[in-house]
Amino acid sequence: MTGGALLGGMIASIAMGLTGNQLLAGEESIEVYNEKSETINEIYKKVEEIIRKRQDEYQKMTEEELAHFDSVMGDGLHEVFTGALSSDTDYDAVTKGIDKVLAYWGKTVLFHSKDEYKAQWDQPLILKF
């Protein structure tokens, strides 16, 4: 065997060893990647489930609030129209209906009866907007 063949054999042996190590490192990298990918998929599924539950809860709360709003507005406006359309206008009913509507937002009418309204005539009126 010549020196060149011996040297070539050594280089080939080293190159094959390095290539083999790189292939083994590549297989380990693929295993690590697969493990990380599975973990990420599990986290994604959990997050997706949490988001879906929160969306369902939000939708339920929204539907309940809208039902409450419809009920309060319906009752209040019905009372307003019933009082306003009666043969002898029932101002107390109109006021109660408006008060029901305003109560939804935590507000109230300024005068609850004709007597309260008349009583303020002698006092300066302060309007609040």
Q: What tens digit of pLDDT does each residue of 44-87 get?
A: 889 899 999 999 999 999 999 999 999 999 999 999 999 989 88
79 in Cβ contact with 96 (< 8 Å): yes
DSSP string, 44-94: HHHHHHHHHHHHHHHHHHHHHHHHHHHHHHHHHHHHHHHHHHSSS--HHHH
Q: Look at 30-44, 59-73, 90-104 and tell me which has the smallest mean pLDDT.
A: 30-44
Look at the block and give the residue holding tokens 């929204």: 62
pLDDT above 70 for 17: no
Residue 50's Cβ-side half-sphere holds a number of Cα atoms within 13 Å equal to 6
Whether the pTM exceeds 0.85: the reply is no
Return all residues near 76 (Cβ < 8 A) that are at least 6 apart: 97, 98, 99, 100, 101, 104
